[in-house]
Structure formats: structure tokens, C-alpha cells
Amino acid sequence: MTIKTCIFDAYGTLFDVTAAARQAAAEPEFPALASTWATLARDWRNKQLQYTWLRAVTGDHADFWQVTQEGLDWALEAADLGADPALRQRLLDLYWNLAAYAEVPAMLRALKDAGYQTGILSNGSPDMLSGAVNSAGIGDLLDDVLSVESVGIFKPAAAVYDLVGQRFGGTKAEVLFVSSNGWDAGCAARYGFTTAWVNRAQEPMDRLPGRPDHILADLSPIPQIAATR
């Protein structure tokens, strides 16, 4: 089946979620972060994801910005930095302007030049995603940005993956879905998408019913993968 649409997760896939903590750690106002930023970034991301899963199970949906703040509060407290409101605010401000990975613009341009439909499917709220896309300067390379807020539940709920077909049409097999989260790529494969897992950290495979079709070190091979399916 020929790939017609390439859909990307946003945070950790197109946008570097460690960038906020790394940048704040380089600023002289926050010396306590210099030796702990990597741990804080990891804890922040892990709690952010865990809270989405728990809220999906319990039905207590909140938008991704609230979940992002709650995850950060946990991470700051774990690092004994919870009493620094200026640091908290700086990290949250930086999260609205996360850097895209270096290969992202050229990769998306190659897909568009080859005639593929492109889009984002993310847990992020619409305003967060708009800020990230605009900051990275990639809006003209995307046909649409889809948020879970339209269905009120986080990934990997099938209702989220359904949004792709509702917006772009075609069959599930005609979609190449790309995520840096092994669980997301696996669940999307189980759903029926062709999937690629961008495993930048060289993590083990998640033990789930679905497994990604491709495992990559970065996003550069995506145009070639789309062309050969």
C-alpha cells in the first residue's frame, strides 16, 4: 500500500523537550540547575506522560498545558527546586518555544516536495502546538496540526488516531505515523498505521501488542521510508 500521508507526534519527535531545561541551566540566574537539568528534564517528561495515561484511564481529562505544569511541579520538588517560582516560570515560558530538531525542516520540505500530506497529531493543546510550530518556522510545511483536545482523551486512545482519517482520508495503511515514543509507535501500529519509532535514546522496545515497522536514530530517513512503502 502506498503512503500518502505522513503524521508526526510533536513533543520529543519534532520538538526537543529537553531544550527548556538545558537553556535555563545555561542562564546565570539559575545556577542550581546547572548540574541537575538533565534529571529534571527526564523527570518532567516522564511525569507529563504518566499523567496523560492516568487521566485517560480515570476519565479526568485536563489539557496538556495543565499536565505539563503538574509534571514540572513534581520534577522541581524531586530536585529540591520547588521553592524557586522564577525558575518554574522560566521553564514554562521556554516550553512554548522549544527548538525543533536540526533535521526537521529539510525532512518536512522533502515530503512536501514529493507530494505527501503532512501533519502533527499530538497530546498538546492547540495553543501550545501553534506556539511550537510558529517558533520552529515549520507551519508552511504542515497541512494540519491535530490535537487530542477535539476528542478529550490522550494517546494512545483509538479516538485520537481516528482523527487522522477524519482529516486526511485514505486507509490506515496509507499513513506513515512517526513518534519518538516507543509506546506511541507501537500502539499506532496496532491501530493499523505504518509506523516509525525515532529512538534517539536507544531505549529497549516496549512490550506491547503492536511494534513499529521502522526504528530510526533520527528523522532524516522518513522521506525515503515513505517512498519505498
Q: Which residues are catalytic?
A: 9
Task: Check if the beta carbon of residue 70 is closer than 8 Å to that of residue 92.
Answer: no
The CA-atom distances, in angstroms, between 222 and each of 138, 139, 181, 215 are: 16, 18, 16, 11
Task: Check if the beta carbon of residue 185 is closer than 8 Å to that of residue 196.
Answer: yes
Beta carbons within 10 angstroms of residue 20's beta carbon: 24
Q: What is the DSSP letter of 203?
A: P
C-alpha cell belonging to residue 85:
517560582
Dihedral, CA atoms, 137, 111, 16, 163, nearest 10 degrees?
100
Task: Check if the beta carbon of residue 3 is closer than 8 Å to that of residue 27.
Answer: no
C-alpha cell belonging to residue 177:
505515523
For residue 31, give the H/E element and its range: none
Taking the C-alpha atoms of residue 227 and residue 26, their distance in angstroms, rounded to an integer, is 41
